[in-house]
Amino acid sequence: MDMDAQRTQQLQDIVKLSREMLDQAQAGAWECVAALELRRREQVMACFSHPGAAHRTGEETAAIKTILRLNQEVTALSQSHRDTLGAEIQTQKKGVAAHTAYANCGP
């Protein structure tokens, strides 16, 4: 397999992992997303560890754009999840503070 074909296959594998990450993020399986991201990072490093051709094929360019788009979607979901967790933590803290204040009001 020549280098261009090998890189194209590696990029297709990275796209597949990126799609799996998005599916898991949509399902709220964040531990799985993290594990997939580690695997994907290793594949990205392997894919770009050797210099490629001076130009990218249309297929490679499309794969890279897809990877970036999927990554943006995963990032947006993770930020939304982070914000939701932050709001839940604040609500919990307020509940604990209210409970403590109420408990301290008694005789």
pLDDT one-digit tens code per residue, 68-80: 999 999 999 999 8
Of the pLDDT bands very low, low, confident and very high (cuts 50, 70, 90), residue 59 is confident
- The answer to the question of residue 14 being in a domain is yes
Q: In this structure, are residues 47 and 14 in contact, taking their beta carbons and an 8 Å threshold?
A: yes
In this structure, the chain runs to a length of: 107
In a domain, 59, yes or no: yes
> Is 99 part of any domain?
no
Q: Which domain holds residue 32?
A: 3-76
Least confident of 21-30, 56-65, 88-97: 88-97
State the average pLDDT over residues 13-33. 96
Give the chain's domain count: 1
Higher pLDDT, 102 or 21: 21
The confidence score (pLDDT) of residue 99 equals 58
Helices within the chain (DSSP H only): 3-26, 30-47, 58-104
What average pLDDT score do residues 75-92 get?
Answer: 77
Write phi, then psi, for 105 (nearest 5 degrees): -85, -15
pLDDT, residue 7, reads 87
Round to whole Å and give the CA distance between 64 and 23.
19
Residue written as token pair 């990072």: 41
Within 10 angstroms of residue 56's Cβ, the number of other Cβ atoms is 16
